[in-house]
Amino acid sequence: MSVAVESKALMPPDITARKRKQLIVCLTAYTTPIARLVDRHCDVVLVGDSVGMVLHGLPSTLGVTLDMMIMHGKAVRRGLERALMVVDMPFGSYEEGREQAFRNAARLMAETGCAAVKLEGGEAMAETIRFLTGRGIPVMAHVGLTPQSVNVFGGYKVQGRGEDGDGILRDAVAVAEAGAFALVLEKVAEPLARRITAEVTIPTIGIGASAACDGQILVVDDILGMFTGFRPKFVKRYAELGLAADAAIAAYAADVREGRFPAAEHLYADLSKAGEVA
């Protein structure tokens, strides 16, 4: 299923059309420099509300605001040329009702330039998804472990083991029928994720789900190893930049304390003095 990377900007219908045809590569991004890096390799770039934990040091995603998502969305938009940009709707910005959801989703799209929004929830959100998509707002859905409901789940636990699997399947079918163009399955037991992928008509994007999903997404800071000591089971580390950065900062601090930095090559000569060469 490996194919050449397309050069044109991708849109939600392009992602939907890849169901069972081409695996979908997705990563998060929160800044312009990272967006420029991932744009060359990814089909979907998600400005996730995980930014609250990754960049702002929050204990969960619940403290993320719409203004924060807009700020980071604008930054990511500046770094993208090809990948489809999706922005998370933060907790409290859409659950009240479909009119609230439309108002805030429209603001996200207008101010960030994103092509779609993502919201969490299954059957309970189906009416909202249908309302948004019917008014020109493409929606990526998200079921299974939904981090904005972490207090209800009692932690970041695997979903879909035992009897609750049928409920997650109903959630997946409901959001697909409501018009979502793709579906994130987070921390869902592998057999259930495989079954959902086979039964729904839209692409599934796994994060701790199944290799049978139509695509995969991870937090970019996780795959780069920016956090030393934090290693979820579903994450594969492709680099250890956190350790490298720690070593570099330690070397800089040692050079400053020992008087080795700055050296002569880091200083500027006074060119007003005759015969002086920079």
- Boundaries of domain holding 261: 241-278
Model confidence band, residue 152 (pLDDT cutoffs 50, 70, 90): confident
Q: Is 276 annotated as a binding residue?
A: no
Same-domain pairing of 164 and 253: no
Same-domain pairing of 101 and 135: yes
- Range 132-148 average pLDDT: 96
DSSP letter for each residue of the chain: ---PPP-SPP-HHHHHTTTTTS-EEEEE--SHHHHHHHHTT-SEEEE-TTHHHHTS--SSGGG--HHHHHHHHHHHHTT-SSSEEEEEPPTTSSTT-HHHHHHHHHHHHHHH--SEEEEEBSGGGHHHHHHHHTTT--EEEEEES-GGGHHHHTSS--B-STTHHHHHHHHHHHHHHHT-SEEEEESB-HHHHHHHHHH-SS-EEEESS-TTSSEEEE-HHHHTT-STT---TTPPPS--HHHHHHHHHHHHHHHHHTT-SS-GGGS---TTSTT---
Same-domain pairing of 210 and 275: no
Check residue 137 and give its pLDDT: 98
Same-domain pairing of 158 and 189: yes
Same-domain pairing of 163 and 266: no
Same-domain pairing of 192 and 275: no
**Does 138 reside within a domain?**
yes
Same-domain pairing of 223 and 248: no
Q: Is 214 annotated as a binding residue?
A: no
Same-domain pairing of 22 and 101: yes
**Does 3 reside within a domain?**
no
**Does 219 reside within a domain?**
yes
Q: Is 270 annotated as a binding residue?
A: no
Check residue 5 and give its pLDDT: 53
Q: Is 88 annotated as a binding residue?
A: yes
Same-domain pairing of 169 and 100: yes
Same-domain pairing of 193 and 261: no
**Does 2 reside within a domain?**
no
**Does 5 reside within a domain?**
no
Q: Active-site positions?
A: 186
Same-domain pairing of 229 and 245: no
Check residue 1 and give its pLDDT: 46
158 or 86, which is more confident?
86
- Range 13-40 average pLDDT: 98
In tens, the pLDDT along 164-184 reads 899 999 999 999 999 999 999
Using CA atoms, how far residue 205 sits from 33, 165, 273, in Å, is 24, 17, 64
Number of domain units in the chain: 2
pLDDT of 131 strictly over 50 = yes
Residue 222's CATH number? 3.20.20.60
Pairing state between β 116-120 and 215-218: unpaired
Same-domain pairing of 198 and 277: no
The percent of residues above 70 in pLDDT, for the chain, comes to 95
- Range 94-107 average pLDDT: 98
**Does 53 reside within a domain?**
yes
Check residue 241 and give its pLDDT: 96
Query: Range with the lowest mean pLDDT among 69-78, 153-162, 257-266?
Result: 153-162
Q: Is 49 annotated as a binding residue?
A: yes
Check residue 228 and give its pLDDT: 76
**Does 185 reside within a domain?**
yes
Model confidence band, residue 195 (pLDDT cutoffs 50, 70, 90): very high
**Does 118 reside within a domain?**
yes
**Residue 41 and residue 61: Cα distance in Å, rounded?**
26
Tell me the pLDDT of the chain averaged across its residues.
94
Check residue 275 and give its pLDDT: 58
**Residue 50 and residue 88: Cα distance in Å, rounded?**
9
- Range 119-140 average pLDDT: 98
In tens, the pLDDT along 218-240 reads 999 999 999 877 788 999 999 99
